[in-house]
Structure 1
Amino acid sequence: MSNPDRSLAAALFDTAIGPCAIAWSATGVVRFQLPEADEEATLTRVTRPHAGKTVYESGPTDDIIAKAIIRIRAHLAGDLDNLRWIPLDTSAIPEFHSKVYAITRTIDPGHTLSYGAIAHRVGAPNGSQAVGQAMGRNPIPLIIPCHRVLAADHALHGFSANGGVTTKERLLEIERTPGFGEPTLF
């Protein structure tokens, strides 16, 4: 990935759930944006300043970003991909959050973990709330699949993306996660 001026590039692209946006550095993706109210809001949110760097709109000039956009589109259309191969630039993310995100990234589509299970795996067995706070601040949703993290009772409690828990539920339905989007008998 090339970005010689140390600024970040961003691209807006259509998906099955609406316009998404991605911002990247020479190292990897620094931000991903699920659809906001409209394209302008989505792009504005992904291009806000990041760690003192300017983010500008660009086309996906890097092959890996172009491939990421293609696979994200396919994923959101139901051709699932774990997206773990997409490189990330987490240099501006606090250490605890980075640990939480690394575990979250291991959750395959169609599967979930609880906040408590992630807290236990990062060595903070009483840290469910801290994990929840990290999920709420996730700058790279979908690629770091915070939507796959649920409360212990599998209930959907909050989601920071536009649309809240409705968006979270929709992503879980797309990924064919058991218990979401399935017809019920009663």
Structure 2
Amino acid sequence: MTIPYHLFETAIGWIGIAWSERGLTRVQLPERDRAATERRLLATMSRISQSGEPSQQTARELPANIVAAVDEITRYAAGEIVDFSDIKVDLAGINDFRLAIYDAARKLGFGETTTYGELAQRAGHTGLARETGQALGSNPVPIVVPCHRILAAGNKIGGFSAPGGSATKEKLLTMEGVRVGPPPSAQASFGF
């Protein structure tokens, strides 16, 4: 099995993506440089493989749907209002609970936030805020499934599993015009 992937430079740093015939399977937010982003992307691709070690390959020619996804992510990183609902994702192997959470998150528009508890309710899983946070923490396609738009109770920033943690989450929200609670103390690993 060969998993194609591609790295591209954006205003917020190098982003990596991987895909199948059905859609994006992975979005890797920026690390400190291209090489670090590629290493993290390949490591996560290896961990999610269900049939042994996949063969990863940098794509020489991108399919039209992937060119469109790269364009939309690049424009988003430059601060443009982008709606990712047209980007197909391949979430094969993910359980029904997480699929429901990701689907509910994808319905949030640019600059729209909600809490983990509210998102759980929207997804039909009232009372499962903690589990919702765990599902979002393992979101394989951040930005496209906008897990950064989900806040802790009281509209506090909450956690974020991407490089830079909560500081990165806050910067993504700031790009969308959203201001929340006191700023996190950690610095994001990419400077935008």
TM more than 0.5: yes
Check whether the contact 1:109–1:177 (CA below 8 A) recurs between aligned residues: no
Check whether the contact 2:156–2:180 (CA below 8 A) recurs between aligned residues: no
**Distance in 1, Cα, partners of 2:67 & 2:61:** 5
Matched, 1:125 2:120: no
Check whether the contact 1:114–1:151 (CA below 8 A) recurs between aligned residues: yes
Q: 2:117 corresponds to which residue? A: 116
Structure 2 gap segments, 5+ residues each? 182-192
**Distance in 2, Cα, partners of 1:86 & 1:11:** 16
Q: Which one has a larger percent helix, Structure 1 or Structure 2?
A: 2
**Distance in 2, Cα, partners of 1:60 & 1:103:** 32
Q: Which amino acid aligns with 2:73?
A: I
Give the number of aligned pairs.
176
Q: Which amino acid aligns with 1:146?
A: C
Shift of 1:37: 2.4
Q: Which runs of 4+ in 1 moved over 6 A?
A: none
Gap change, CA 1:11 and 1:178, over 3 Å in 2: same
TM-score (norm 2): 0.86
Structure 1 gap segments, 5+ residues each? 1-5, 181-186
**Distance in 2, Cα, partners of 1:175 & 1:97:** 25
Mapping for residues 18-167 of structure 1, pairs under 5 Å: 18-47=13-42, 48-49=45-46, 50-52=49-51, 53-59=54-60, 61-167=62-168
Shift of 1:120: 1.1
- Structure 2 residue matching 1:98: 3-state secondary structure: helix
- Structure 2 residue matching 1:42: 3-state secondary structure: helix
Shift of 1:59: 3.7
Shift of 1:41: 1.8
Q: Which amino acid aligns with 2:12?
A: I
Shift of 1:161: 0.4
Check whether the contact 2:115–2:151 (CA below 8 A) recurs between aligned residues: yes
**Distance in 2, Cα, partners of 1:21 & 1:51:** 20
**Distance in 2, Cα, partners of 1:59 & 1:82:** 27
Shift of 1:60: 5.0
TM-score (norm 1): 0.89
Aligned residues: CA RMSD: 1.7
